[in-house]
Amino acid sequence: MTATNTPLDDTLPEDVAAQIGAYQYEKTADFPVEQSYVWTSCASVFNGNPIYWDPKAAEDITGGPISPPSLLSAYARPHYWAPGAEGEQLSLQVHFDLKKRFGLPEAIMTDNTNVFYEPLRVGDVVTSRQVLKSVSGEKRTKLGVGRFWVIDVEYHNQNGELLGTESYTGYGYRREASA
Amino acid sequence: MTAATATLTLDRVSVGDTLPELTHDVTATTVILGAMATRDWRPMHHDSKFAVERQGVPDIFLNTPNQAAWFERYITDWAGPAARIGRVVFRMTSPVFPGAPMTFNATVKDVATDDAGCGWVTLDVSLTVDGAVKTTCEARVAVPTSADDNPWARRGERWIP
């Protein structure tokens, strides 16, 4: 998709520019890292790695019950619904803020970078925070007209140790009428 | 290919080595199960009508964290449970939809030992459907340098992913 980008407008509103580099939406998860999610995730990709299924292997190799690092972001995502919640519960709120700010109803993720630090343990409680790194000018792609943006997310455990970082490149767009 | 239980050590890996191919039939269940497993409730990963009419794509498609989980499984199937993934960078050039098998392949791009003595293998991984590349991935994976080395025991300054 990126190979066919056509630049249209390079201006960036001041309120959006002011967000770049600022931490937003620091949130501690409502639930701890769960063994059941470990199994469900491994089942979804047929991952038979014994450190996720065999407690002795987990202890011998990693020092205790452990979650796949790829599941890190899942533990920071809100429940689909919870008492008192109204409307759709969203993770990566900065992404949805940008969609709304620019009037771009659709979006897709194009690039993702994950870096893993301290092992993610069953029982950990994950705190996440988001930071907008960049927003492109308006571009036309085969999906429509919109903007690319890069959002980083940091994840820490209950001891303040860095568990990992993620960097998402998203493309928010509006579809164009077919010719 | 099934999960490896033996320990792969760095001395057994060379630049240019290829990993065993993995193929999996992608169904609606694959996509929806992957989305739910990663707590991704967005409708383009479970509601075909939404995906087609709102997103303008042919069907529901694999979400980002689940693709990460597939890459993770593919890599550790080869490297074994003592291997520890440090970094994964992937680019999704085209969505992966139900209805066709997806295939994973990988080549060893680099083999190195860092200043802390940790052994690293860099892999170029591809996810293709019908021969077309859908996602490319570069993964940096710590692999034991000897039978008594364990990347999972590394902490702080000894872990440089």
pLDDT at position A178 over 90: no
Contact B99/B59 with Cβ under 8 angstroms? yes
Q: Can you tell me the distance from the alpha carbon of B69 to that of B31, in angstroms, rounded to the nearest whole number? A: 12
Q: Can you tell me the distance from the alpha carbon of B62 to that of B45, in angstroms, rounded to the nearest whole number? A: 6
Question: Among partner residues B70, B92, B150, which is closest to A45 by beta-carbon distance?
Answer: B70
Flag whether residue A55 sits within 8 Å of chain B, measured between CB atoms. Answer: no
Q: Can you tell me the distance from the alpha carbon of B85 to that of B70, in angstroms, rounded to the nearest whole number? A: 13
Q: How far is A16 from chain B (nearest CA, A)?
A: 25
Q: Can you tell me the distance from the alpha carbon of B106 to that of B100, in angstroms, rounded to the nearest whole number? A: 20
Residue B21 is predicted with a pLDDT of 98
Stretch B64-71: mean pLDDT, rounded? 95
Stretch B13-21: mean pLDDT, rounded? 98
By the 10 Å C-beta count (0-12 exposed, 13-18 middle, 19+ buried), B103 is classed as middle
Flag whether residue A134 sits within 8 Å of chain B, measured between CB atoms. Answer: no
Chain B residues whose CB is inside 8 A of the A51 CB are 81
Q: Can you tell me the distance from the alpha carbon of B91 to that of B130, in angstroms, rounded to the nearest whole number? A: 18
Q: Can you tell me the distance from the alpha carbon of A81 to that of A116, in angstroms, rounded to the nearest whole number? A: 29
CATH code, A14-174: 3.10.129.10
pLDDT at position B1 over 80: no
pLDDT at position A3 over 50: no
Flag whether residue A162 sits within 8 Å of chain B, measured between CB atoms. Answer: no
pLDDT at position A49 over 90: yes
Stretch B73-77: mean pLDDT, rounded? 98
Stretch B38-64: mean pLDDT, rounded? 93
Stretch B36-55: mean pLDDT, rounded? 94
Residue A142 is predicted with a pLDDT of 87
Q: How far is A78 from chain B (nearest CA, A)?
A: 8
Q: What is the dihedral of CA A52, A55, A57, A61, to 10 degrees?
A: 80
Please state the ipTM of this predicted complex: 0.95
pLDDT at position B11 over 90: yes
Stretch A94-106: mean pLDDT, rounded? 94
Flag whether residue B6 sits within 8 Å of chain A, measured between CB atoms. Answer: no
Q: How far is B64 from chain A (nearest CA, A)?
A: 7
Q: Domain ranges in chain A? A: 14-174
Question: Among partner residues B40, B65, B73, which is closest to A46 by beta-carbon distance?
Answer: B73
Chain A residues whose CB is inside 8 A of the B156 CB are none
Q: Can you tell me the distance from the alpha carbon of B61 to that of B34, in angstroms, rounded to the nearest whole number? A: 10
- State which amino acid sits at residue B4: A
Stretch B71-91: mean pLDDT, rounded? 97
Residue A179 binned pLDDT confidence (cut-offs 50, 70, 90): very low
Residue B40 is predicted with a pLDDT of 94
H-run or E-run covering A82: none
H-run or E-run covering B157: none
Flag whether residue A105 sits within 8 Å of chain B, measured between CB atoms. Answer: yes
To which residue do tokens 């979006």 refer?
A107
Stretch B129-155: mean pLDDT, rounded? 96
Residue B5 is predicted with a pLDDT of 63
Which residues, listed in sequence order, are joined to residue B23 by a DSSP beta bridge?
Answer: B103
DSSP for A40-52, please give it.
Answer: HHHHHTT---GGG
Residue A87 is predicted with a pLDDT of 83
Q: How far is A50 from chain B (nearest CA, A)?
A: 7
Mutation target to probe the A interface, by most A beta carbons within 10 A, among B54, B152, B155 is B152
Q: How far is A10 from chain B (nearest CA, A)?
A: 23
Question: What is the CATH T-level fold of the domain B10-158, as seen in this structure?
Answer: Thiol Ester Dehydrase; Chain A (3.10.129)
Q: Domain ranges in chain B? A: 10-158
pLDDT, one tens digit per residue, over B95-131 is 999 999 999 999 999 999 999 999 999 999 999 999 9
Cβ <8 Å between B69 and A68 = yes
pLDDT, one tens digit per residue, over A109-159 is 888 999 999 999 999 999 999 999 999 999 999 889 999 999 999 999 999
Mutation target to probe the B interface, by most B beta carbons within 10 A, among A36, A61, A159 is A61
Residue B7 binned pLDDT confidence (cut-offs 50, 70, 90): confident
Closest alpha carbon within chain A to B79: A49
pLDDT at position B47 over 80: yes
Residue B32 binned pLDDT confidence (cut-offs 50, 70, 90): very high
pLDDT at position A13 over 80: yes
Cβ <8 Å between B24 and A46 = yes
> Mean pLDDT across chain A, nearest whole number?
92
Flag whether residue A150 sits within 8 Å of chain B, measured between CB atoms. Answer: no
